[in-house]
Structure 1
Amino acid sequence: MSQPLCAEAVRAIEHDCARLVARYANRNDAADWEAVAALYAPDGRMARPSAPDDWIVGREAILAAFAARPARTTRHVCSNVEITVLDADTALGESAMLLFTGDAAPRVGSFLDRFVRTGEGWRFAERRGTMTF
């Protein structure tokens, strides 16, 4: 049985995972698809808010899905980031998302995340988006 994590370790994991959420939004807005895909574990999976039950699995497939999107200008604003540390190598997260894109009306949604510690640091094992309105 593993030892409970000290408060400092929990805070460090919470910080690293919350930073991953912000990095994802910023790299997405910069259309840096390779950097976005690299934020996932090699076998990570993603479901966009517009298709929350349509999973895209693996970094290569995630990269291809982003690269296939038409060019657009976006700004993702993430807030209410809440990280729940399960153990030294896994955590869960929930965050609210507001998406501005060109002349379209803003969209509001959220992400439910599962994080995993890899040799590259914390990565998304799973990122499932849903639309609120």
Structure 2
Amino acid sequence: MGLTDDERRAIELDCTRLVSLYAKLNDEARWLEVAALYAEDGVMARPTAPDAPIVGRDAILAAFTARPPRTTRHVCSNIVIDVENANHAAGSSVMLLFTGYGAPLVGNFDDRFVRTPEGWRFAERRGSLTFAPD
């Protein structure tokens, strides 16, 4: 059975909110909450290490808590969510990252989303850089 337009829009909105919430919590260094946005077996690939994915919510949390303190602002835009079915979606967004340490970074996130008992979560989040300082 297919999804209604309202069901599809609700999934798109939930996944878009997840992208925005990720940026907000990341900038606030709320690592436990950032990690909780991933499915238990979620995968994260950072833009600076795309070939070294981090697998599992616990490992993702450990990767975030290992970071040195920093001040950032992630600005996400051009968010497009493609609903595959009632439990799966894919998406992409453009990210502008300000760190206060030089030129901003511009990149993309390619996401896979999954509906879990906790709600929509990242099944996979892969970052890439389009423009970065030399």
**TM-score (normalised: structure 2):** 0.97
Q: What residue is the counterpart of 2:8 in the other structure?
A: 10
**Secondary structure of 1:132's aligned partner:** strand
Q: How does 1:1-133 map to 2 (within 5 A)?
A: 3-133=1-131
Tell me the distance in 2 between the aligned counterparts of 1:124 and 1:69. 21
Tell me the distance in 1 between the aligned counterparts of 2:117 and 2:13. 18
Moved over 4 A (4+): none
Number of residues of Structure 1 aligned to a counterpart in Structure 2: 131
Tell me the distance in 1 between the aligned counterparts of 2:111 and 2:102. 26
Superimposed CA distance per residue, residues 38-93 of structure 1 (whole angstroms, 9 cap, x where no aligned partner): 00000000000111121000000000000000100000000000000000000000
**TM-score (normalised: structure 1):** 0.97
Superimposed CA distance per residue, residues 15-57 of structure 1 (whole angstroms, 9 cap, x where no aligned partner): 0000000000000000000000000000000000111121000
Tell me the distance in 1 between the aligned counterparts of 2:32 and 2:71. 17
How much has 1:102 moved relative to structure 2?
A: 1.5
Tell me the distance in 1 between the aligned counterparts of 2:35 and 2:117. 16
Tell me the distance in 1 between the aligned counterparts of 2:101 and 2:38. 30
- Sequence identity, in percent? 67
Q: Which runs of 5+ in 2 are unaligned?
A: none
**Secondary structure of 1:114's aligned partner:** strand
Q: Which runs of 5+ in 1 are unaligned?
A: none
Tell me the distance in 1 between the aligned counterparts of 2:111 and 2:29. 21
**Secondary structure of 1:110's aligned partner:** strand
